[in-house]
Amino acid sequence: MEIDWGLFADLFGRTFTFWWVILPAILLGLIVGAIPGFSAANTIIILLPMTLAMEPEIGLIFMVALYASSRMGAGIPAILVNIPGTAGAAATPLDGYPMTKQGRAQQALAISFVSSVFGGLLTTILALMAMPWLSQVAYHLHSVEMIVIMLFGISLIATIAAKDTLKGLIAGFFGLMIGYIGADVVYETPRGTFGFLELYDKVPLIPALVGLFAVSEAFAVIEGESILTKRGMDAMQKAGWQETWEGVRLAISRWWHIIWTSIIGLVIGVVPGAGAAIASFVAYQQSKTFSKTPEKYGTGHLDGLVAPESANNGVTSGTLIPLLVIGVPGGATAAIMAVVLQYHGVTVGPDLFDSQPELAYGAFTAMAVTYAIMILTVLPLARYMSRITVVSTIYMAPIIISFTLVGSFVPRAYVFDMYLALAFGVIGYVARKTGYHVAAILIGVILGPLLENYFLRALRISQGDVMVIFSSSLGNVMWVMLIISLFVPMYLDRRRKAREQALPTTTDC
Amino acid sequence: MSNFDNDFSRRLFLKGAGATAGASALSMLPIQAAFAAAFPEKNIQIFVPTRAGGGADRNMRAFTSVWKNYLKTNFEAGFYPGAAGRVGYETYMGKAKADCYNLIFGNMGPEVLNWVVKKPTFDLKSFLYIAQVDQDPGIVFVSKKNKKLKTIDDIVKEGKKRTLNVGVSRLAHPASLGVLALGRHTGAKFNLVPLSGGRNTRAGVATGEMDFGALPSGSVVRKQKQFDIVAVFDKANPLPNRMKKAVVVNDHFGMKLPPLYAGARAFGIKREAIEKHPDRYKVLTDTLQKVYTDPAYKKAVEKTKAPWKYISYGSPADCEKYVEYITAIGQEYKSLLTGKS
């Protein structure tokens, strides 16, 4: 597949002239991304009559802009009020929300925006340039390799457990157990559903997500007057534009971190069926593994915010590659975009580059232009958005609970899901009060079913031979990398502690 | 995009947005009660037991986009995926009112097979399919990038040397049954790997993780650049121009398999609704039959790239016959579908 750079340049300039489509799509995307339960996928379905009324090119630009901006929007409530808008933003509050509590919400938002935009922009350009090679990734990452990728994400439980091994592991296994509720993928046999039909299709992610993070947080913050610490409140009272610029500067100074974590997102996004949740947890785990200050993760560490935000935006362009190159969408939103284009009489697949290159390349130029316009529109809003954190918890807690309950209801329209969110809220609250890490539970809930899915598929392919997990050369290399990434930090940590212990002795001498 | 025909101008966009906002605002007003009229006087809900964006969604939207003109009302789709369609059917039977304002749109083939494997909680007699929409045969397909397997003979030959992995949407699926029957007949060894839906199945075959796949033809025939359809489980090849490499399994291997319509999508309703509101039911069935002959429906189907040839009306009696027939096949292969063989 040859890339027509002339056409690409022409398209790039032309896409900018559709700012009047991109701008409302960005605003809509930010809103639906920020509301738990809503997503680009269901918004595109709701707006189907409108996109059908548009020319295919404009419809595509609108959908792509909505998709990219909703990804960024999901990070906003995750940072400000500990409510990840989607599963892809589940790793964002791990360090984003502690920053907010410290009164650095504005910096956190700016870091999130810059990481998202540059991560998204970079991976969009990379996707376009390296499309023929990147599309090969899907041919090599099969279920065996995906098991290892999942374990990279799940191994975060172990690192979270480092502070209190037993509690961390209990929380992680508890999450994994919850994740296995539902019908199995082979024989569709319901397991652990307690007779609830609503659990047959697995524990829905949004109620689990908002329950564990947001509802439990609302229960917890109501005990105080503000979600901010006293110092945080002082900082927020004095905050001005300089905090936004400080965030921009801090994010740009981590340019290398943005690059490699967004590439993790791009590569995972290329695999059909993977997704932003996996990418953000894997990026977070890798970021922590290679950090010189891993102990700061979870306390408002900047790298811990940059990594998931860059990665989940890297996924966005990645999901378009299998759709355009092998005709198989990389994710739910890409699949729905394909359906919409089909209504326009456009069949999405490799022949689109020949038959309608303006659409095939246009998807990427629209994404690049969206990111460029987005940074200009969203960055000034950081200051005003962050003001929500100074609202008293008397108002904030009920708003969070009612907002999240509505969000839990939206994706499936089951009242059951609202009760489920409350139940997860109680579990999260008890976990917080007893020192169990809710993030460890959540990682199990999100990645557990995916791990099981790939594991059962691999077992089915090998007809029950467990050794299948070591049957691929690439997989084996990844196993070694996994082991290294788990044990090297432990070794380095031990060596650092030994040095620290040795240092006073030397001084004494 | 240099020759871009900018029909959709900025002004039109703003007009559209304004109109949408206006319409939304108007819909909030309590004016509906003032216009109480004959059935239907409100939107009709469609329960879909699969995910949004799939084949059922596509078919349902194409059909209802025309049906709404005859009923003078709109349709609202709700998607209830999970456990091979069980969630959708159980939700419909448990929660939908028996008032003819609630219908289900499912795929009779795999969903009835699933009932054979695991009985639903509702009485099967309390439910009825009222109109079959399409009749899409099961097929065997390979990736064009597969260098070894190019024809069904290659598949059978290779299957006699080693066990081949077959990507299927679900185990309890007519296309899966076809592959099992082919394996039994030829002695080739096929290992079915359920990949949860057509999209994942195509991905499994396209990326080379599966040796080949089996699905309803409609979900593969649109992807001719990526896949070759090499065999069809039907009386004859229904699309010889679009499935040029496909052989008819029965003819090619001397088998006597009944046609395995892997896609047999249909509208269903609670019997109670028909008994309570026979007049409404009549309106539904009278109007839906008009859709099949409406040129707008043909246009809507062709827009989705689905073969128009597969569209055929099946009466409630036809549907009942199909359900009996697929149930009988399911019983025959039950042990293979449940892994208890």
Specify the pLDDT at position B32: 41
pLDDT over 70 at A4, yes or no: no
| Contact state of B165 with A461 under an 8 Å Cβ cutoff | yes
Dump pLDDT digits (tens) for A50-92: 887 888 888 889 999 998 898 888 889 889 888 887 888 888 9
B144–chain A Cβ distance below 8 A for any pair: no
Q: Is B173 on the interface with A (CB under 8 A)?
A: no
Percent of chain A whose pLDDT exceeds 90: 25
What's the angle, vertex CA B91, arms to CA B85 and CA B94, rounded to 5?
135
Q: Which of residues 229-248 of B touch A (CB under 8 A)?
A: none
Question: pLDDT by residue (tens digit) across A117-175?
Answer: 999 999 998 988 887 777 777 788 889 998 998 888 888 777 766 667 788 888 888 99
Q: How far is B164 from chain A (nearest CA, A)?
A: 9
Mean pLDDT of all residues in A441-463: 89
Placement of tokens 């092998």 in the chain: A326
Helix (H, G, I), strand (E, B) or coil at B25: helix
Q: Do B83 and A463 touch (CB under 8 A)?
A: no
CA of A183 vs chain B CAs: smallest distance (Å): 6
Question: Taking CB atoms and an 8 Å limit, are A342 and B304 in contact across chains?
Answer: yes
pTM of the full predicted structure?
0.78
Over residues A235-270, the pLDDT tens digits come to 777 777 888 899 999 999 999 999 999 999 998 888
Q: How far apart are CA A194 and CA A192, in angstroms?
A: 6
- Is B137-261 a CATH 3.10.105.10 domain? no
Residue A508 scores a pLDDT above 60: no
CB A311 within 8 A of CB A123: no
State residue A116 phi and psi, 5-degree precision. Answer: -65, -50
What's the confidence (pLDDT) of residue B340? 58
Predicted local confidence at residue B11, as pLDDT: 52
- Please tell me the predicted confidence (pLDDT) of residue A489: 73
With CB atoms and an 8 Å threshold, state whether A20 touches B10. Answer: yes
**Tokens 């002959």, residue located:** B293
**Contact list, B222 vs chain A (CB under 8 Å):** 347
pLDDT at A504 over 70: no
Interval A479-484 mean pLDDT: 90
Q: Are B243 and B227 in contact (CB under 8 A)?
A: no
Using CA atoms of A292, A295, A301, A306 in order, give the dihedral in degrees to the nearest 10: 60
pLDDT single digits (tens) B21-37: 444 444 444 444 444 45
Mean pLDDT on A354-364? 80
Give the pLDDT score at B34: 40
Residue B325 Cα, gap to closest chain A Cα (Å): 22
CB B172 within 8 A of CB B84: yes
Same fold, B43-135+264-332 and B137-261: yes
pLDDT by residue (tens digit) across A391-417? 888 888 888 888 888 888 887 888 999
Measured in angstroms, the CA of B84 and the nearest CA of chain A are apart by: 7
Question: Which residue stretches of chain B have pLDDT < 50?
Answer: 1-10, 12-14, 16-17, 20-36, 341
Share of chain A above pLDDT 70, in %: 94
Q: Are A181 and A202 in contact (CB under 8 A)?
A: yes
**What confidence score (pLDDT) does residue B24 get?**
44
> Where are the domains positioned within chain B?
43-135+264-332, 137-261
Q: Which of A308, A356, A295, A344 is nearest to A497 (CA)?
A: A295
Best residue of A205, A271, A328 to probe chain B, by most B CBs closer than 10 Å:
A328
pLDDT at B281: 94
Query: Which backbone phi and psi does B183 adopt, to 5 degrees?
Result: -65, -45
Strands B44-48 and B75-79: parallel
In sequence order, the 6+-apart residues with CB closer than 8 A to the CB of B7 are: A55
Distance from CA of A119 to the nearest CA of B (A): 26
Contacts of A182 in chain B (CB under 8 A): 82-83
For B43-135+264-332, CATH gives 3.40.190.150
Residue A490 has pLDDT above 80, yes or no: no
CB contact under 8 A, A142 and B207: yes
pLDDT exceeds cutoff 50 at A509: no
Query: How long is chain A?
Result: 509
